């Protein structure tokens, strides 16, 4: 009976606030995407660079690892001091956390390219840029996509706590539920779309990752 009542409240909440939930869903997804895109723009070139300058890999990956060890709420608070409340603080936080999987996977993918393939390219007279564009990146793409996939799923979770710095998103609905009397249905109204977003993102990027794998 209690579960039936919760389901009724859940359906009723969506009937009354469906447009609001959809707007927060879109906001949540866009914040996550922007942070991961920025991390990809910065992280992929860094991964390529340290793959070609192997001695720097330990330092760069170590710095990215240190960022990952900082609790997300603490990171939000630190960045908020500089950027203030709002979306930008969450985007920068997502960006920082997304760097490690993207840098690490790019580095791993580049280092795993068969040396004989590179030697063949050099033997054909290909320049370093041509080797990168036509050989290394295509062969590394599936591994790089795996890093972006992990980063996006991580970002969706981090964005959920962005509500604490006034960024909105589905975390807003979850917090409203925790503050309401008998707010279980409201919590579900925010938590289920968040989980669904992560699952769908993981599935779609997993499919792209498989398609990008040159061995398939």
Give the per-residue pLDDT at 216: 63
Give the per-residue pLDDT at 119: 78
**Cα 171–chain centre separation:** 16
Answer whether residue 187 is part of any domain: yes
Give the per-residue pLDDT at 18: 85
Give the per-residue pLDDT at 124: 84
Question: Angle between the 87-111 and 137-160 helix axes, to the nearest 10 degrees?
Answer: 150
Query: What is the C-alpha separation between 197 and 183, in angstroms, rounded?
Result: 22
Query: What is the C-alpha separation between 190 and 188, in angstroms, rounded?
Result: 5
Task: Give the total residue count for the chain.
Answer: 216
Which letter does DSSP use for residue 163 in this model? G
Answer whether residue 103 is part of any domain: yes
Residue 85's domain comprises 32-212
Give the per-residue pLDDT at 1: 41
User: Please, is 208 exposed, middle or buried when counting C-beta atoms within 10 Å of its C-beta (0-12, 13-18, 19+)?
Assistant: middle
| Domain count for the chain | 1
Answer whether residue 37 is part of any domain: yes
**Cα 175–chain centre separation:** 22
Token pair listed for 182: 């008998």
Question: Which CATH number characterizes residue 38's domain?
Answer: 1.10.3720.10
Task: List, for the chain, all residue ranges whose pLDDT scores fall below the cut of 70.
Answer: 1-4, 215-216
Answer whether residue 125 is part of any domain: yes
**Cα 136–chain centre separation:** 24
Give the per-residue pLDDT at 13: 82
Q: Which residues contact 48 (CB under 8 A, 6 or more apart)?
A: 106, 110, 132, 136
pTM: 0.89
């Amino acid at each position: 009976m209690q579960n039936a009542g919760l389901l009724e409240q859940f359906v009723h909440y969506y009937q009354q606030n469906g447009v609001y939930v959809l707007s927060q869903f879109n906001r949540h997804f866009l914040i996550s995407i922007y942070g991961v895109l920025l991390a990809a723009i910065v992280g992929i070139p860094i991964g390529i660079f340290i793959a070609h300058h192997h001695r720097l890999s330990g330092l760069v990956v170590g710095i990215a690892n240190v960022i990952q060890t900082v609790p997300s709420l603490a990171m939000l608070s630190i960045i908020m001091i500089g950027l203030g409340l709002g979306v930008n603080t969450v985007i920068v936080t997502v960006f920082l956390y997304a760097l490690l999987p993207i840098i690490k996977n790019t580095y791993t993918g580049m280092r795993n390219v068969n040396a004989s393939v590179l030697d063949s390219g050099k033997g054909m007279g290909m320049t370093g840029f041509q080797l990168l564009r036509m050989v290394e990146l295509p062969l590394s793409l599936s591994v790089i996509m795996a890093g972006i996939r992990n980063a996006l799923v991580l970002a969706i979770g981090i964005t959920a706590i962005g509500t604490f710095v006034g960024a909105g998103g589905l975390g807003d609905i979850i917090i409203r539920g925790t503050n309401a009397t008998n707010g279980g249905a409201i919590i579900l109204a925010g938590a289920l779309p968040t989980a669904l977003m992560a699952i769908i993102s993981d599935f779609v990027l997993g499919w792209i990752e498989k398609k990008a794998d040159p061995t398939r």
